[in-house]
Amino acid sequence: MHRLVSISASLMLGLAGCGGSGSGGDTPPPPPPIPITKAEAFQFLNQTTFGALEAEANRVIAMRHEAWIDDQMMKPASLNLPFLRLLPIVQPLGLMNADRVDIWFRNALHGDDQLRQRVAFALSEIFVVSQLGALNDAPFSTASYYDLLVENAFGNYRDLIQKVTLHPAMGVYLSMLSNEKPDVANNIRPDENYARELMQLFSIGLVELNQDGSRRLDDQGRVIPTYDQSIIEGFAHIYTGWTYANTTQFRDPQRSLQGEIQPMVLWPAYHDTGAKKVLNGVTIPAGQSGAQDLSDALNNIFNHPNVGPFIAIRLIHRLVTSNPSPGYIARVAAVFNDNGFGERGDLGAVVKAILLDGEARPASRMDLDGKIKEPLLRLTQLWRAYDAQSRSGRYAYDFAYFFLGQGPLQAPHVFNFFSPFYAPPGEIRDSSLVAPELEIATEYLNTFMTNFMFGQTFGLNSTNQNLRDDDVYIDFESEMLIAANIDQLIGTVAGKLLGGEISDTLRNEIAGMLALVPETETVLRAAETIYFIVTSPEYAYQR
Mean pLDDT along residues 261-277 = 98
424-462 exposure pattern, b = at least 16 Cβ within 10 A, e = fewer: eeeebeeeeebbbbbbbbeeebeebbeebbeebbbebbb
Categorize the per-residue pLDDT at 100 as very low, low, confident or very high, splitting at 50, 70 and 90: very high
Mean pLDDT along residues 228-234 = 98
Cα separations in angstroms, 389 against 97, 106, 380, 408: 19, 9, 12, 18
User: What are phi and psi for residue 91, nearest 5 degrees?
Assistant: -115, 140
Domain housing 274: 173-302
- Give yes or no for residue 85 having a pLDDT over 90: yes
Q: Are 112 and 56 in contact (CB under 8 A)?
A: no
Categorize the per-residue pLDDT at 7 as very low, low, confident or very high, splitting at 50, 70 and 90: very low
For residue 474, give the DSSP letter: B
Could you tell me if 392 and 483 lie in one domain?
Answer: yes
In a domain, 65, yes or no: no
Region of 56 on the Ramachandran plot (φ > 0 left; ψ -120 to 50 alpha; else beta): alpha
Residue that wins the pLDDT comparison between 215 and 16: 215
154-175 pLDDT, tens digit each: 999 999 999 999 999 999 999 9
In a domain, 321, yes or no: yes
Q: Are 501 and 537 in contact (CB under 8 A)?
A: no
pLDDT of residue 25: 58
- Give yes or no for residue 23 having a pLDDT over 90: no
In a domain, 521, yes or no: yes
Q: What is the DSSP string of 79-113?
A: -SHHHHHTSPP-SSGGGGHHHHHHHHHHHHHH-S-
pLDDT of residue 368: 75
Cis amide leading into 92 (omega within 30): yes
Categorize the per-residue pLDDT at 19 as very low, low, confident or very high, splitting at 50, 70 and 90: very low
- Give yes or no for residue 325 having a pLDDT over 90: yes
356-365 pLDDT, tens digit each: 999 999 877 7
- Give yes or no for residue 16 having a pLDDT over 80: no
pLDDT of residue 20: 39
428-457 pLDDT, tens digit each: 999 999 999 999 999 999 999 999 999 999
How many whole angstroms separate alpha carbon 289 and alpha carbon 283?
15
In a domain, 153, yes or no: no
- Give yes or no for residue 28 having a pLDDT over 90: no
* pTM of the model as a whole: 0.93
Could you tell me if 390 and 511 lie in one domain?
Answer: yes
Pick the closest to residue 149 from 123, 111, 171 (CA basis).
Answer: 123
Could you tell me if 254 and 237 lie in one domain?
Answer: yes
pLDDT of residue 313: 98
Could you tell me if 217 and 321 lie in one domain?
Answer: no
Per the structure, how many domains does the chain have?
3
pLDDT of residue 327: 97
In a domain, 269, yes or no: yes
pLDDT of residue 4: 39
Could you tell me if 276 and 315 lie in one domain?
Answer: no
Query: Among 282-296, 360-374, 383-397, 464-478, where is mean pLDDT lowest?
Result: 360-374
pLDDT of residue 384: 98
Could you tell me if 386 and 488 lie in one domain?
Answer: yes
Pick the closest to residue 230 from 191, 182, 276 (CA basis).
Answer: 276
Percentage of the chain lying above the pLDDT 70 cut: 95
pLDDT of residue 6: 43
Could you tell me if 249 and 324 lie in one domain?
Answer: no
Could you tell me if 347 and 478 lie in one domain?
Answer: no
How many whole angstroms separate alpha carbon 265 and alpha carbon 261?
12
> Which residues on neighbouring strands pair with residue 541, listed in sequence order?
372
